[in-house]
Amino acid sequence: MSRNVINIYPDELEEFRTKTRERNYLLIDVRQPGEYAEGHIPGAQLIPLPEIESRLDELEEDKNLILYCRTGGRSAVAAALIKDAGPRQGRLYNLVGGIAGWEGKELKDIPHLELFPRDMPLAQTLYRAMNMEKGAWLFYNDLAQEYAGTELGDMIRDLGGMEEVHARSIFTFWNKHRTAPAPDSFEEIFERLDGKIMEGGKPISAWMARLGKNPEDRKLRLLELACEIEYYAYDLYRGLAKRDNDSEAVQTYLLLAEQEKAHVRVISKALNRVFGA
């Protein structure tokens, strides 16, 4: 019975397909229909990320699933949603680097930083998580200004507001675990946070750099990266919940994780509205 998502690399994919009978696995493209029409890995079935949860009945539980998107971010989100839907007999794979890696394109990324060591005191962990929420808030606010007056801009602004709400929730819990109550209000502390490091251990500049310059392509990349950001946050809070022994902390982390998953659904709907055709 498989519960974990397994990373598979482009060179391993070809070996896997050579050694595995077609009836024993499904190769699933979770991009949008327009992207799929422009080119896809031969034999791939299209199930866009926004439709994954509503089409789970098409994913036979005894089959191995290999998911891919453009660079691996959206497919990681899709794999997480499938995994959370319940146990499977088949294995669940995410193609690292996506179709871009499969086509041999160079992929640039920044290594993940271990920002939450196990021996870090709870109060410090919460403060750092609050600062990462500030980073996401800054990222979304900058982009909301760029797309001001559009449906996309409104959605991005709303995502930024959600990050501030999360930071406020973390502040409340953080305040309970300090040796003394914070001398300043949430608003004052949130204003001072620099938000330099976002989810995945990446600075805002690294996320911004991945958006590119092409106006049309930039919109798709924006929503794609937003999916990644929310997935990283979801994965972070789930991970913190698993390793914490404090029941109140566990419930707080799980609540935040579920809210991050809800953010992914908001972005998925936007993908369908903007790029569904």
Going 33 to 37 to 38 to 42, the CA torsion angle's sign is positive
Three-point CA angle 203, 205, 211, nearest 5°: 120
Strand order in the sheet with 5-8: 5-8, 92-95, 64-68, 25-29, 45-46
Number of continuous H segments (helices) and E segments (strands) in the chain: 10, 5
- Please name every residue paired with 203 in a beta bridge, in sequence order, or none if there are none: 197
> Burial of 145 by CB count in 10 Å (0-12 exposed, 13-18 middle, 19+ buried)?
exposed
Contacts of 199 (CB under 8 A, 6+ apart): 132, 135, 136, 228, 229, 230, 232, 233, 236
Active site residue 227: no
Alpha carbons 123 and 184: distance in angstroms, whole number: 16
Q: Look up residue 81 and give its two tokens.
A: 């949603």
Cβ atoms of 28 and 115 closer than 8 Å:
no
Query: Rounded to whole angstroms, how far apart are CA atoms 243 and 254?
Result: 12
Which of 69, 95, 126, 155 is flagged as catalytic?
Answer: 69
**Percent of residues in the chain assigned helix, strand, coil, to nearest 5:** 60, 10, 30
Task: Using alpha carbons, list the distances in angstroms from residue 17 to 10, 133, 167, 268.
Answer: 11, 40, 44, 29
Query: Looking at the annotation, which residues are catalytic?
Result: 69
